[in-house]
Structure 1
Amino acid sequence: MPGDRAVRLEDVTLVRGRTTVFRGLDLELNEARIGLIGDNGAGKSSLFRLLCGLDAPRSGRVWINGADVGGADHRARSVGMMFQNPDEQIIFPTVEEELALGLEVGGLQRRQAREQARAWLQARGLGHWAERAITSLSQGQRQHVCWLALTIAAPRLLLLDEPFASLDLPGQALLDHEIRQASQQIIVSTHLLNHVRGFERVIWLAEGAVRADGPGAEICAAYEADIVQRVAAHALRIDAEANVA
């Protein structure tokens, strides 16, 4: 069994419908900040779903904190995931109630959880958000509520799936800062490479396999160069077809 600090996938095969998403995937994820990049359909969201137990592998094992995600050990459940669409994640009608949920799951009574959520928001200059209806918030603000709900619940591993997609520039800068300051291990899946370029490790997924894995600046540059080559090749094919026609 992997060590208690390890996040590891061992020979994982994941099949969804008729599509094999991963075949024999091996990964060990121990760095404090890891970026996950690649085209749409490369397997980034599927990897997150495996890590938080939403999908089960057809074969192989997924270990977190020394425990099998598919088993009964509670250590494997200390994972929080932020979805691409905040409306798929938010349950309660007000900000205060949404933040209190994670505290209630952790064992606090409802009144205590709400009081702590209000105090937590106040300490971050967001006390006026406590009683706001989720429906009154912009998409970016709802995304920020999802981040706040994750951090107040304090799981050991945070999985952020396209967390910057609906944020304006100030919102992106704030989330960047909070990611740097957070004590948890964080894995960020994103198409906005500048947010992970400075990470100690970035993994480039392509068609369900690891295309490259290494320092953020190096891997992001390689991915960008590959895109330039693919776009140029596509343009040449278009031109050639036009000339034939």
Structure 2
Amino acid sequence: MAPSSFLISMRDVSLHVDGKTLLSQITVNANERRIGIVGRNGSGKTTLARVLAGLVPATEGSVKIAGIDVARDRKGALGRIGILFQNPDHQIIFPTVEEEIAFGLTQMGQSADEAAQGVAQILAQFDKSHWAKAAIHQLSQGQRQLVCLMSVLVMAPSVIILDEPFAGLDIPTTKQLARLLAGLDVTLVLITHDPDVLRDYDRVLWIDSGVIVQDDNPAPVLAAFEARMDHIGDSDDLSHLAG
């Protein structure tokens, strides 16, 4: 298939920062609905997520979502791809829930009235209409993560990137968020170091040192990843544990 026929198309993507190569020659063409990216801390997962979302332009190569160059057309990218960060406090910039959710809609060019209608609809969809005027700093981390998710979903993107979305959440909140994500009618790209959350996914990429090590169905990729992690864990060389 031609790259233009894929929802996600990364072609020969490399990223160099301050003389260091953070990503090297990554090519991914994907139409799968559930895509996992697994790797150790410091492997390049979050960097890849930011490049895929268009937040960081690649030094070389191109990244397109639904035909839109996400780094060059930032307004167009808003309606194509969203990202949910590991820490909601790194994403939230407004004091109230309704202001936070409305921001993306106004960035897309909607009027204040149109944005307010979108906010009301997404809050009602999640049975959280009573949150509209709530101060975000008074919400729990799980609740703030839900606000961030609603802020992304209200823009109706084709793809949502989830960067370690369960980090810092307790078990009940993790299960609730996982169930909510599983039911979304949107393509998800989940970044994680935990292979267990990817076993039911359609496709998994293993990244290490900024390079795609393996790209296949979950079973072979996760088996190889876990074997490598076990080998490193059994090693006496503590330098492997860095990062």
Instruction: Answer yes or no: same fold by TM over 0.5.
Output: yes
Q: Is 1:7 the equivalent of 2:8?
A: yes
Deviation for aligned residue 1:139: 1.9
Q: Is 1:148 the equivalent of 2:157?
A: no
- Bigger mean CA offset, 199-208 vs 165-174: 165-174
Equivalent residue, structure 1, for 2:30: 29
In 2, Cα distance between the equivalents of 1:3 and 1:13?
20
Q: Is 1:41 the equivalent of 2:70?
A: no
Deviation for aligned residue 1:33: 0.6
Aligned to 1:114, what secondary structure does the other structure show?
helix
Q: Alignment RMSD, CA only?
A: 2.2
Kept in 2, the 8 Å contact 1:35–1:199? The answer is yes
Kept in 2, the 8 Å contact 1:63–1:76? The answer is no
What TM-score results when the alignment is normalised by the length of structure 1?
A: 0.87
What TM-score results when the alignment is normalised by the length of structure 2?
A: 0.87
In 2, Cα distance between the equivalents of 1:154 and 1:67?
15
In 1, Cα distance between the equivalents of 2:25 and 2:124?
47
Q: Given the alignment, which residue of 233, 236, 243 partners 1:231?
A: 233
In 1, Cα distance between the equivalents of 2:127 and 2:90?
26
Kept in 1, the 8 Å contact 2:55–2:71? The answer is no
State how many pairs are aligned: 236
Equivalent residue, structure 1, for 2:51: 50
Deviation for aligned residue 1:23: 2.1
Aligned residues: percent identity? 37
Q: Is 1:68 the equivalent of 2:69?
A: yes
Deviation for aligned residue 1:35: 0.6
Q: Given the alignment, which residue of 171, 174, 177 partners 1:175?
A: 177
Equivalent residue, structure 1, for 2:209: 207
Aligned CA distance change for structure 1 residues 48 and 228 (closer, same or farther; 3 Å): same
Deviation for aligned residue 1:185: 1.1
Kept in 2, the 8 Å contact 1:81–1:150? The answer is yes
Equivalent residue, structure 1, for 2:82: 80
Deviation for aligned residue 1:177: 1.9
Deviation for aligned residue 1:160: 0.8
In 2, Cα distance between the equivalents of 1:202 and 1:100?
33
In 2, Cα distance between the equivalents of 1:215 and 1:23?
22
Kept in 1, the 8 Å contact 2:118–2:154? The answer is no
Kept in 2, the 8 Å contact 1:65–1:76? The answer is no
In 1, Cα distance between the equivalents of 2:59 and 2:120?
43
In 2, Cα distance between the equivalents of 1:81 and 1:210?
21
Q: Deviations over 1:145-190 (max 9, x none)?
A: 1111111221111111111112222222222222222122110001
Q: Deviations over 1:16-71 (max 9, x none)?
A: 11210122222212211101110111111111111122222222222221233344
Kept in 1, the 8 Å contact 2:88–2:141? The answer is yes
Aligned to 1:165, what secondary structure does the other structure show?
coil
Kept in 1, the 8 Å contact 2:13–2:60? The answer is yes
Unaligned runs of 5+ in 1: 239-245
Q: Given the alignment, which residue of 95, 117, 120 partners 2:119?
A: 117
Unaligned runs of 5+ in 2: 239-243
Q: Deviations over 1:166-221 (max 9, x none)?
A: 22222222222222221221100012322212101111101111112222233223
Please say which structure displays the higher CA radius of gyration: 1
Q: Given the alignment, which residue of 140, 149, 161 partners 2:163?
A: 161
Q: Which amino acid aligns with 1:141?
A: Q
Q: Which amino acid aligns with 2:36?
A: G
Deviation for aligned residue 1:115: 4.1
